[in-house]
Amino acid sequence: MSAGVGRHPGLNLGDTDEPTHMVAGSDVFGFWVFLMSDAVIFALLFATYGVMLPATMGGPTPAGEYEMGPAFIETLVLLTSSFTYGLGSVAMKHGAPRRELLGWLGVTLLLGLLFLGLELHDFATMFGDGAYPSRSGYLSGFFALVPLHGLHVLAGSIWIVVMMAQLLVFGADARVKVNILRLGLFWHFLEIVWIGIFSLVYLQGLIR
């Protein structure tokens, strides 16, 4: 990257595509602002869950409902999807063939959908045990936090499909590259939020 070219959070294209890098800064910064507002929402829901955690009202408890095996598998799946997205981003940065970038995006999409399928199975199991959001304050806090993350993963998966379509139609032009950078920030943000959920919700639930 030449002297005087600024850097922004996330993947920088200055070494391989300086014109796109120059126009990406403001777009990426604006998306960071959106992510921080989203982080505030998740922080409030984490706090709400923590306050409501003891309020089981004699109903299902975290220790009785949480299954660590599936939760750990979901964590591995989402972490792997973040890694495959990163590989796709690096491929884009260094001008790899379009099919390589499409391949990594496709793998990331499949992992995201697998994560959603596993999570929906967990929710169905909880419902089968009578653990509905309206059953107690604890379950209300849980179903306000965890499914919201799942909705974000669903939105990210739809976004991946849109980006794959744009790659097929327009190729890796400047607009598509900037959108892929923003999607990367969003996808990695979801990984960080899930680590918080796994640590503060599922692991903490073992002692409740």
With respect to residue 63, please indicate whether it lies within any of the assigned structural domains.
yes
Into how many domains does the chain fold? Answer: 1
Residue 189: CATH number of its domain: 1.20.120.80
Task: Tell me the two tokens of residue 114.
Answer: 């697998």
With respect to residue 34, please indicate whether it lies within any of the assigned structural domains.
yes
Domain span including residue 81: 18-205
pLDDT digits (tens, 9 = 90+) for 119-158: 999 999 999 999 999 999 999 999 999 999 999 999 999 9
With respect to residue 3, please indicate whether it lies within any of the assigned structural domains.
no
Give the H or E element holding residue 81.
Answer: helix 68-93
With respect to residue 1, please indicate whether it lies within any of the assigned structural domains.
no
pLDDT digits (tens, 9 = 90+) for 29-77: 778 888 999 999 999 999 999 999 999 998 999 999 999 999 999 999 9
What's the pLDDT band for 1 if we cut at 50, 70, 90?
very low
State how far the Cα of 177 lies from the Cα of 81, in Å rounded to an integer: 19
With respect to residue 12, please indicate whether it lies within any of the assigned structural domains.
no
With respect to residue 108, please indicate whether it lies within any of the assigned structural domains.
yes
Closest CA to 62 of 76, 47, 52, 75: 52
